[in-house]
Structure 1
Amino acid sequence: MSVIEFEPVNRQSTAEMIADRLREAIMRGTLEPGDQLGEADLAARFEVSRGPVREAMQRLVSEGLLHSIRNRGIFVIDLTVDDVVDIYRARTAIESGALELILDGRRDHTHEALGPSIAEMTTHAATGDAAGVSDADQAFHEALVDSAGSPRLVRAARTLLIETRMCLGALQTTYPELGEQVREHVELREAIGSGPAERARTLLAEHMADAVSRLRGRVSEPSTPV
């Protein structure tokens, strides 16, 4: 397992706080695909007993971000090209479902909710900060699903968005030009806010299909791991 610098958590912290830290480490690539997680080691790093760490790890196993191998331990999942396709297939279903709820009376609210992430993407793109743009990209899609007002869609989307960042890994983005990434999201936001409903549906579907095409192209390159 990679050497990781975790800040100690408060002794009153819950297993969910530890799970959040581990999710973040997996998403950022600090914990890499295939890394083994040791219960005792993590408990020492977080300065907590093993109980909350064990519970946090089991939560991530149930979410599909970790997997347990009998008599070996718990590991960060590895993602294949087929996983990339499946992740985006699931995201398309979830975000399309969210969009239908949004189009049914939540358009103004969603347009406003998507504004901060667009502003962040624009700022980071102007400085060439690909990681910052990717963070804002994820925030955009989180806000999109959240705006639908469905807690179940939000829960379903959370793990998929983390897996999306795992797919990107060190690439941070598959866009050759960060401004293009921003423009796609601006167009989608405007369509959601006031454009024809069918245009919003089309732009979202094309956005997801394009992402799969870009990722497939990049992960198939000999020097690029999944």
Structure 2
Amino acid sequence: MAAENFPNTTPQKLVRTTSARRSFHIYTSLQREIVLGMLAPRSTLLELELANRFEVSQGTVREALLLLQEEGLVHRQPHRGTTVADCRAEDAEELIRLRHDIECRGVKRAIARQGNALADRMRTHLSAMQEAADAGDEYLLSVHDRAFHSELFACADLPPVQPVLARALVHAHRYKILHPAQNRDLKDTANRHLAIIDALDAGDADQAAAALSRHITTIVDFGPNILAEDL
């Protein structure tokens, strides 16, 4: 999949050299396979096999695996190789709580900085999500979904927090895809963002935070008490 399909959702690396472009292509291909479950949780990835598959050097494969490691999608251990990260409910719950706090506070700051101008920017991502849904491409839908939330938070101007949110986003989407609810409709998934855009249109920070809260806490079926913690 082309690099331009990953706006604001991937590590901020400059893809200039031939080797970098190749490693980025491998990274995006493997990310897709991990998120969709084509590479199963806890499965082993061998650099030599991947190098043969993509017809590149093991060094180029290693660069791609390091990008995946930054996202927490693989675990690399010296002399023990690389394994695909697990996809557990307890991890997803904690990341959703973290994501909730980051995004709901961030949107208020974003609106204070940019007002209702945010709505038009988010509509671009919504249109891309709807097109992916119409094409039945769940992974591409997740890419544009992540871009929606990443760009919205970027407008809060909190760059040290951005990588934390990026990791939470990719793992939440992976868990949702690998543990699907019955009869999930991709178009409905895209259109769940309309309530957020309506709040942004109104320039209402509290409404936007509430819409994001509902959106995030209903991503997967953990029940109504996802934010409750037993202290």
TM-score by length of 2: 0.73
Cα distance 1:45–1:124, how it changes in 2: closer, same or farther (>3 A)? closer
CA contact (8 A) 1:121 1:182 kept: yes
Q: More deviation in 134-143 or 153-162?
A: 134-143
Who is 1:154 aligned against? 162
Find the counterpart in structure 2 of residue 107 from structure 1: 115
Change (3 A) 1:61 1:177: closer
**Residue in structure 1 matched with residue 88 of structure 2 by the alignment:** 80
Matched, 1:42 2:50: yes
CA contact (8 A) 2:95 2:168 kept: yes
Give the Cα separation in 2 of the matches to 1:34 and 1:149.
Answer: 36
Match of 1:13 in 2: 19
Alpha-carbon separation, structure 2, partners of 1:143 and 1:11: 26
Match of 1:3 in 2: none
Work out the percentage of aligned pairs sharing the same amino acid: 27
Deviation of the 1:87 alpha carbon: 1.6
> Which amino acid is the alignment partner of residue 49 of structure 1?
S
Contact 2:44 2:81 in 1 (8 A): yes
The alignment of Structure 1 onto Structure 2 pairs a total of residues equal to 205
Give me the whole-angstrom Cα distance separating, in 2, the residues matched to 1:176 and 1:25: 20
**Partner Cα distance (1:183, 1:106) in 2:** 23
Shift of 1:123: 4.5
Q: Which moved more, 1:44-53 or 1:84-93?
A: 44-53
1:134·1:173 contact (CA, 8 Å) conserved in 2? no
Aligned AA for 2:118? T
**Aligned-residue offset at 1:191:** 0.4
Aligned match of 2:201 in 193, 200, 219?
193
* 1:114–1:174 Cα change, 3 Å: farther
Q: CA deviation at 1:195?
A: 4.3
SS at match of 2:18: coil
Unaligned runs of 5+ in 2: 1-15, 224-231
SS of the aligned residue for 2:19 comes to coil
**One-letter amino acid of the structure 2 residue matched with residue 96 of structure 1:** C
| Pairwise CA distance, 1:186 | 0.9
SS at match of 1:104: helix
TM-score (norm 1): 0.74
CA deviations over 1:60-106 (Å, ceiling 9, x no partner): 33432111356542110111111110121121122224213212121
Q: 2:192 maps to which residue?
A: 184
